[in-house]
């Protein structure tokens, strides 16, 4: 039986992969820490149809701020079909939500309206301490 004890002291051309694996593991840990655990998105609230008679009475408490387009004039604002000027919007919403535990408001804007008017109403709602603001869109009929 004989044993071989390596060559005559020459250089080896094999790649040492241990430092590469160390760097790979460190990068993997860094990327796992950087990536957020829960993805953030836009919270959207959509009004639901009433399921029974009790919920129909609750729907009377739903606040819908409508913004109607008028050609060559400032838009018309309404709170649940009651005309309101833009200056009165914040005080009226503050009064409405002063004693409410449920602070939900829906904003409905016309199609021809610039979005800046909708954004202003959302800001006014936030100033009136409304917690959740939903956007209402027109109902799309099937087959169109």
Rounded Cα gap, residues 34 and 5, in angstroms: 49
Q: Supply the pTM of this predicted model.
A: 0.57
Q: What is the pLDDT of residues 121-141, one digit of tens each?
A: 999 999 998 989 988 877 665
Predicted pLDDT at 3? 58
Predicted pLDDT at 15? 80
Predicted pLDDT at 61? 74
Residues of the chain predicted below pLDDT 50: 55-59
Question: Both tokens of residue 15?
Answer: 């790649």
Residue spans of the domains in the chain: they are 64-136
Predicted pLDDT at 24? 93
**The domain made up of 64-136 is a member of CATH 3.40.50.2030:** no
């Amino acid at each position: 039986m004989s044993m071989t004890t390596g060559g005559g002291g020459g250089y080896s051309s094999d790649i040492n992969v241990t430092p590469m694996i160390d760097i790979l593991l460190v990068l993997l840990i860094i990327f796992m820490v950087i990536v957020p655990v829960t993805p953030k998105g836009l919270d959207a609230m959509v009004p639901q149809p009433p399921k029974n008679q009790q919920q129909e009475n609750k729907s009377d408490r739903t606040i819908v701020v409508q913004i109607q387009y008028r050609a060559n004039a400032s838009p018309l604002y309404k709170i649940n079909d009651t005309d309101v000027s833009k200056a009165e919007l914040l005080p009226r919403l503050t009064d409405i939500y002063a004693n409410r535990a449920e602070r939900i408001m829906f904003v409905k804007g016309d199609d021809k309206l610039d979005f800046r008017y909708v954004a202003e109403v959302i800001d006014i709602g936030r100033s009136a301490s409304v917690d959740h603001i939903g956007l209402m869109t027109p109902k799309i009929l099937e087959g169109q």
